[in-house]
Chain A
């Protein structure tokens, strides 16, 4: 499986969080946030992660970056298993991997100027000498289409979209290879979302970046990603190319998710098959036995309540975890 152009190879990634109780914080249960997830990401690719709130998207992203140390599994970054290394070695690897957050308000330190926020990673890693600092920060400002003269301003003086640009510039400071974008446009206004999406696209092309793009908005994820993984209760239920995802979704959950997204054109929308998923996502502390999706599935059959389906390659490059596929 190990091809040369694979940048990230995730194997059996698992992340459980303890649920504790009492004064001694005794562990009484586990949240299975991410449960045995595997996929590969090629260099220069945008890999999308979608799914409903709480399905484990953020946790997957953070566990890949080792911001959470996974409960089990391997994360190869350029052939290095990140789960096995620590200390200085991990710190050096981390320079190649950055995170962009959803909330451009909470993620920037309000007491720091924009210039210092963007340049901080350069200082922390001791990558610049005094005079170069301003220059490099100015470069980063220009890269994200902000005016370098705004470097002295504080976060509250910027709009939401501009703050997201600051977050992006900061992530780019160390010239990373991989960026995990965790809902980077969800908090922004519609007209500003397009600006940030186009900026991320341009940066990927110009700088040869690889993205993991996390969002719950399927239209956005499909637009920016080359391939998309659909998650449900800590598992990946389907992985396929972005066009195939809309043209030929195979997992009933993917079909329901797609159907729930209205298309902003009434004539097209009226002609689509409608699948209304009922109920809510169950708790990841006690996921339903068998296929986790079976209580909400409209195509459920006898075996679905017993055995958990494996993620199988059904047609070339199209992986599905469903007993009916």
Chain B
């Protein structure tokens, strides 16, 4: 790597089946958004570049298709809900017009049909008084409502895959629950596959089938949801679980703190990036990044000490 470059995402692999939801969990700047944008080939170049890898969508490598084809896939088969709703909504169009434009463009509906479909979508995402509110502009909605409109946009193409980048970070818990419920219903009703990006391990527990934990651009652990919570085998996953307050546990349980800070990606050293904060670190961890290894059914971990994680923390 030349000077001034950073590996935002490094050697990440995972897969999503039809009708399945998987989570990408990790702290800020660990590469969650970059990995999602890569799937859509939306990494701004320069400065960003996908150096290697494959993104197989229904048997086709998205990194090899033409830009025209990719545009078609983006609009019609993969939907994305972005972190910041206002940056991706057009401020000068009413939400009905934005939706029906998209519908005309991507689904080839005529004006009337598109208008009807738009109202359906607006209702579907739970905007009360839908017929009237459809004539409003984005800024006339609360943050939670804007997120709902984003979801409606993401769904307008009937996607086979929906990528949600922290769809609920800026909204209240009650609204968050409503939004995630909507996304979950779509998955069960239409078999939409969902990639949910979040830093909140709690959300994940309720809404996804599989969890991928990232740290400093790398995949640390990947497992079915129940397994990741009951038997985390990476010290980082276990540490995260033990460091969050939990409603259901006795209040005076001491939180276990992960010491130190996440690394600066521009100054990564060889070895495991979690090594400086890890209680189980050994000399080898400093020298070489461990490979992701299968340690159980669909359970992969990148850690030399994964067998000893159980002793490190007890997660109830």
Contacts and interface: CB of A to CB of B under 8 A. Distances in A.
Contacts of B258: 191, 194-195
A190 B243 contact: yes
Contact of A194 (B204, B226, B257): B257
B199 A190 contact: yes
B174 interface: yes
Interface residues of B, number: 50
A263 B247 contact: yes
Contacts of A261: 173, 202, 247
Given A242-B251, A261-B173, A279-B128, A266 B243 contact: no
B237 to A, nearest CB: 11
Contacts of A197: 245, 255
Contact of B206 (A191, A194, A246, A269): A269
A170 interface: no
A265 B248 contact: yes
B307 interface: no
B234 to A, nearest CB: 13
B38 interface: no
Which among A190, A258, A277 has the highest number of chain B CB atoms within 10 Å? A190
Contact of B239 (A161, A191, A278): A191
B298 to A, nearest CB: 15
A220 B126 CA distance: 29
A52 B172 contact: yes
Interface stretch (B45-53, B58-66, B176-184, B278-286): B176-184
Q: Is the interface of A mostly helix, strand, loop or mixed?
A: helix
A246 B249 CA distance: 10
A191 B262 contact: yes
B10 interface: no
Nearest to B315: A265
Given A161-B261, A266-B205, A216 B248 contact: no
Contacts of B27: 189-191
A260 B176 contact: yes
A223 B174 contact: no
A268 B202 CA distance: 11
Contact of B244 (A52, A218, A264, A267): A264
A262 interface: yes
Interface in B88-134: 126, 128
A203 interface: no
A223 B255 contact: yes
Contacts of A192: 261
Q: How large is the interface on A (under 10, 10 to 19, 20 to 34, 35 or more residues)?
A: 35 or more
A258 B202 CA distance: 13
Given A261-B173, A262-B203, A243 B251 contact: yes
Interface in A209-259: 216-220, 222-224, 242-243, 246, 256-259
Contacts of B261: 159, 161, 192
A278 B125 CA distance: 12
B247 A260 contact: no
B194 to A, nearest CB: 16
A265 B245 contact: no
Contacts of B200: 190
Contacts of B256: 194
Nearest to A50: B173
Contacts of A127: none
Contact of A280 (B145, B206, B225, B240): B145
Given A257-B174, A264-B205, A194 B248 contact: no
Interface string A191-206: 1111101100000000
A159 B263 CA distance: 11
B175 interface: yes
A262 B57 CA distance: 31
A266 B251 contact: no
Contact of B178 (A193, A216, A278): A278
Given A263-B205, A276-B178, A278-B178, A194 B199 contact: no
A231 to B, nearest CB: 12
B205 A262 contact: yes
A198 B174 contact: no
A58 to B, nearest CB: 14
Highest count of chain B CB atoms <10 Å: which of A191, A198, A265? A191
B247 A266 contact: no
B287 interface: no
A53 interface: yes
Contacts of B174: 52, 256-257, 260, 277
30 contacts: A52-B172, A53-B143, A53-B172, A191-B239, A191-B262, A193-B244, A195-B257, A195-B258, A218-B247, A219-B202, A219-B244, A219-B246, A223-B251, A223-B255, A256-B174, A257-B173, A257-B174, A258-B247, A259-B177, A260-B177, A261-B202, A263-B248, A264-B201, A264-B204, A265-B316, A266-B205, A276-B177, A277-B177, A280-B128, A280-B145
Interface of B: 27-28, 126, 128, 142-145, 172-178, 181, 199-207, 225-226, 229-230, 239-241, 243-248, 250-251, 254-259, 261-262, 315-316
Given A194-B257, A262-B177, A266-B206, 11 more contacts: A53-B143, A190-B200, A191-B262, A219-B246, A246-B247, A262-B204, A264-B205, A264-B244, A265-B230, A267-B229, A269-B205
